[in-house]
Amino acid sequence: MEALLLGAGLLLGAYVLVYYNLVKAPPCGGIASLRGRTAVVTGANSGIGKMTALELARRGARVVLACRSRERGEAAAFDLRQESGNNEVIFMALDLASLASVRAFATAFLSSEPRLDILIHNAGISSCGRTHEPFNLLLRVNHIGPFLLTHLLLPRLKTCAPSRVVVVSSAAHRRGHLDFTRLDRPVVGWQQELRAYADSKLANVLFARELATQLEGTGVTCYAAHPGPVNSELFLRHVPGWLSPLLRPLAWLVLRTPRGGAQTPLYCALQEGIEPLSGRYFANCHVEEVPPAARDDRAAHRLWEASKRLAGLGPGQDAGPDEDPQPEDPGTPSSRSSPLSEEPTVSEPHPIPHNSPDLSKVTHRIQVKTEPEPIS
């Protein structure tokens, strides 16, 4: 009996050490009041995105939930308004698998919202599910769609500078390898899905790096954020039904809650003084070194050019939302698309905007991007 108690005590102690050192996320601080500012959070109807939007709403921001499902997006907006006490939480339809939907969202947003201070690319998929598309669906949703959306919203971000772009990535980027000759080929089978997911997360890190270079001196800064191991729908969505009851208790014990997973993206969006670290990768609310493939500036620029082509932006062209270039894949609505994707709806009319405070009084940007030399 004593041996059993001793063993139980050791297991409990080990779990406490693991929980507080690896699982529990540090709380986000940063700017306390966001009144008069507007944030867009993609995939904000559940999980990390919903918790991110909740914290932004609690701090007074006007928050746009950019989601594929109108039903789930409207329900999430209602929940967040109730929980935060902030009535300026709205839903707008966005399907990142459809380039047409991305453009329609940008057009609707720019015509109805005078500000954009924070853009958080949270939405993502880890599997193609039963969908069969003539392109790499994981790369489209996790990178190309966010890439195009950022381009279309950049004029508004620049107008409202200092502003921020946060790209939610993953530690899976360390397993990624971008083959530019096969970048947009369809993904078939679970093994290809695992590789394609890691590749898309590497693309997120390289995108943030190149975007920081492109935007240096504009007052718009950007960051790649790893939320940590999170017990969210993304983790369990594609688990076989018979395995789910076994994994759920384990996930509850060793994975972060969505609220914990939201802390690093929130840190990147709100923390004062990190402007010189634009383009860097953050985990557990601090900057973290990445492998050589994720800090390869030549690969980052090559990905930038390839992404412009796949997003329908010609060489040297940053197409506005009203332009209609023809990409190799025209971006017609995928089989995942909601019928509402083409004409995004807004859950409530835009109120008279508040007088926005001057963000330069609370944050500043140092015009030289600094990064320590990697340790060889």
Q: What is the pLDDT of residues 168-199, one digit of tens each?
A: 999 999 999 999 999 999 988 888 888 999 99
The answer on pLDDT for 18 being more than 60 is: no
- pLDDT tier for residue 4 given thresholds of 50, 70 and 90: low
* pLDDT value, residue 317: 53
| Beta strands, E only, 227-363 | 281-283, 286-287
List alpha helices for 121-189, DSSP H: 137-139, 145-159
Distance of CA 54 to the CA centre of its chain: 15
pLDDT-above-70 percentage for the chain? 69
Dihedral of CA atoms 237, 49, 160, 310 in degrees, nearest 10, equals -10
User: Position of tokens 């504009």?
Assistant: 218
Cα–Cα distance between 359 and 308 in angstroms, integer? 31
Cα–Cα distance between 365 and 50 in angstroms, integer? 29
Amino acid letter for position 177:
H
User: Partners of 256 in the beta sheet?
Assistant: 230
pLDDT greater at residue 59 or residue 239: 59
Closest by alpha carbon to 343, among 174, 110, 92, 161? 92
User: Partners of 93 in the beta sheet?
Assistant: 67
- pLDDT tier for residue 252 given thresholds of 50, 70 and 90: low
pLDDT per residue as tens digits for the range 120-179 = 999 999 888 767 788 999 999 999 999 999 999 999 999 999 999 999 999 999 999 999
Give the chain's largest Cα–Cα span.
74
Catalytically annotated residues? 197
- Average pLDDT of the chain, as a whole number: 81
* pLDDT value, residue 248: 59
Choice among 229-243, 279-293, 324-338 with the minimum mean pLDDT: 324-338
User: Position of tokens 């007052």?
Assistant: 219
Any idea what DSSP says for residue 351?
P
The answer on pLDDT for 40 being more than 90 is: yes
The answer on pLDDT for 365 being more than 60 is: no
Mean pLDDT of 237-257: 61
* pLDDT value, residue 281: 98
* pLDDT value, residue 27: 72
Cα–Cα distance between 101 and 94 in angstroms, integer? 6
User: Position of tokens 């993904």?
Assistant: 187
pTM of the model: 0.78
Q: Is the peptide bond before 162 cis (omega within 30 degrees of 0)?
A: yes
Any idea what DSSP says for residue 230?
B
Query: If residue 250 lies in a helix (H) or strand (E), which one and from where to where?
Result: helix 244-254
- pLDDT tier for residue 231 given thresholds of 50, 70 and 90: low
- pLDDT tier for residue 258 given thresholds of 50, 70 and 90: confident
**How many C-beta neighbours within 10 Å does residue 179 have?**
9
Structure tokens given for 14: 């080990």
